[in-house]
């Protein structure tokens, strides 16, 4: 048995010890980090420890492991992965301006580095970057969605601690979604589902959640509900906090909390009860509260979501439209709140 950890920004798990150490050094150096690898090799009698360091001129403060997230953005082709990643980088301050895929403005999305990617509007090879959100370091891999490049998804999932499974609110669960789902299960990667493109004609996030349950076998439930669909999409409702979120400003940078629209109060109550019921089936602590007819607090629900998501017993479902700049910031909060951090990760092999 072996384990290793890294005290720099990139701290990922790898399939083999030697390959992991080499790739760790390469990745860290490529983004200007100074990694300090600690490799522990278990024998029958004792642990032996080796320290590996890569010397660079760039001195950066060490980030605590509990503040690091390694995530991938995965989905069927044309579900909006790269657009979502572009918005994440913009809202976290890594980009000064947002651009669209296919290079419609002559620039193209930041994560599409190849000219062919910008021309075709698809991701061909995985692209890695990092950003920060509320003092947390998030390492992101934007993966291809086309079946011809599925090996890139396979490679990415081997080193990730969590993932965002993006689904189109019109197309729902599609062929490559099934493949990505199998790959996540193979590498034990917990995920958050994000139903994108609520602004498109024919959007139906409720159908997508039903497909998550029936086609993928996920114990899934909404954390958010859309306020309007298609051209009338105005914002989302947070079922846990029980408040409406609107994304104002020129590019949705200002998240404004308001009261839930009156015509949605009954639906919000119903879906919140459904959320707690699904969580109770996946988490023993919340399940006991449910049986005892106790009312869980916001912190109780969030803690249960985190435990059940990491255990891969529950899939939280968030909604939004990346193209119209809605729902991205709450998704980032979900990544921080519900997915694994490096302090909780045990690497064995």
CA 94 to CA 223: how far, in whole Å?
Answer: 27
Candidates 190, 179, 157; CA nearest to 14 is 157
Backbone angles phi, psi at 4, to 5 degrees: -150, 155
For residues 228 and 198, give the distance between their C-alpha atoms in angstroms, rounded to a whole number. 9
Give the chain's mean pLDDT. 78
Q: How far is CA 19 from CA 22, 47, 155, in A?
A: 5, 20, 13
pLDDT score at 52: 37
DSSP per position, 85-139? HHHHHHHTTS-SS---GGGTTSS--TT--SHHHHHHTS--S-EEEEEEETTEEEE
Q: What percent of the chain has pLDDT over 90?
A: 45
Q: How would residue 1 be classed by pLDDT, with cut points 50, 70 and 90?
A: very low
Question: Is a pLDDT exceeding 90 seen at residue 264?
Answer: yes
Whether the predicted pLDDT of 267 surpasses 60: yes
**The predicted structure's pLDDT at residue 62:** 76
Q: Tell me the β-bridge partners of 220.
A: 315
| 202-227: average pLDDT | 96
Backbone phi, then psi, for 255, in 5-degree steps?
-90, 115
Q: Which domains does the chain have, with CATH numbers?
A: 2-53 (no CATH), 65-342 (3.40.50.300)
Rounded Cα distance between 157 and 163, Å, is: 8
pLDDT at position 197 is 94
- pLDDT tens figures, 62-79: 777 788 888 888 878 778
pLDDT greater than 70 at residue 143: yes
pLDDT at 30: 38
Mean pLDDT value across residues 307-325:
94
Give the per-residue pLDDT at 167. Answer: 94
pLDDT in the model for residue 342: 67
Structure tokens at 271: 């879906």
pLDDT per position as a tens digit, 79-121: 887 889 889 999 999 888 777 765 566 665 666 555 655 565 5
The residues, any chain, with a CB within 8 Å of residue 330's CB and separated by 6 or more, are 224, 236, 238, 245, 255, 318, 320
pLDDT at 151: 72
User: Among 111-120, 236-245, 309-318, which is the least confidently predicted range?
Assistant: 111-120
Distance between CA 192 and CA 271 in Å, rounded? 18
Mean pLDDT of 328-343: 89
Contact by Cβ (8 Å): 102, 121 = yes
286-312: average pLDDT = 93
Strand order in the sheet with 191-196: 127-133, 136-142, 68-75, 162-168, 191-196, 315-319, 220-222
Question: What's phi and psi for 261, nearest 5 deg?
Answer: -55, 140
Give mean pLDDT, residues 148-157.
70
């Amino acid at each position: 048995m072996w384990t290793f950890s890294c005290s720099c920004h990139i701290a990922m798990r790898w399939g083999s010890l030697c390959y992991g150490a080499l790739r760790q050094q390469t990745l860290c150096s490529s983004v200007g980090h100074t990694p300090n690898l600690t490799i522990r090799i278990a024998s029958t009698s004792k642990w032996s420890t080796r320290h590996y360091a890569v010397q660079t001129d760039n001195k950066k403060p060490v980030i605590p492991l509990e503040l690091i997230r390694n995530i991938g953005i995965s989905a069927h082709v044309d579900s909006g992965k790269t657009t979502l990643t572009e918005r994440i980088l913009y809202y976290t301050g890594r980009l000064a301006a947002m651009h669209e895929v296919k290079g419609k403005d002559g620039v193209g999305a930041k994560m599409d580095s190849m000219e062919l990617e910008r021309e075709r509007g698809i991701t061909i090879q995985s692209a890695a970057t990092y950003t920060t959100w509320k003092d947390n370091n998030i390492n992101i891999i934007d993966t291809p969605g086309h079946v011809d490049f599925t090996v890139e998804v396979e490679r990415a999932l081997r080193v990730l601690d969590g993932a965002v499974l993006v689904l189109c609110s019109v197309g729902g669960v599609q062929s490559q979604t099934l493949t990505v789902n199998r790959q996540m299960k193979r590498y034990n990667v917990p995920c958050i589902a994000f139903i994108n493109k609520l602004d498109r004609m024919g959007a139906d996030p409720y159908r997508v959640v039903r497909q998550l349950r029936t086609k993928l076998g996920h114990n899934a439930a909404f954390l958010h509900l859309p306020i309007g669909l298609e051209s009338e999409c105005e914002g989302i409702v947070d079922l846990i906090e029980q408040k409406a979120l609107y994304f104002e400003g020129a590019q949705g940078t200002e998240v404004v909390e308001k009261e839930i629209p009156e015509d949605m109060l009954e639906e919000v109550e119903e879906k919140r009860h459904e959320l707690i019921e699904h969580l109770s089936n996946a988490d023993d602590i919340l399940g006991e509260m449910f049986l005892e007819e106790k009312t869980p607090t916001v912190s109780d629900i969030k803690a249960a979501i985190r435990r059940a998501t990491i255990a891969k017993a529950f899939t939280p479902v968030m909604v939004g439209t990346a193209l119209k700049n809605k729902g991205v910031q709450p998704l980032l909060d979900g990544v921080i709140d519900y997915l694994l951090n490096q302090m909780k990760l045990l690497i064995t092999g």
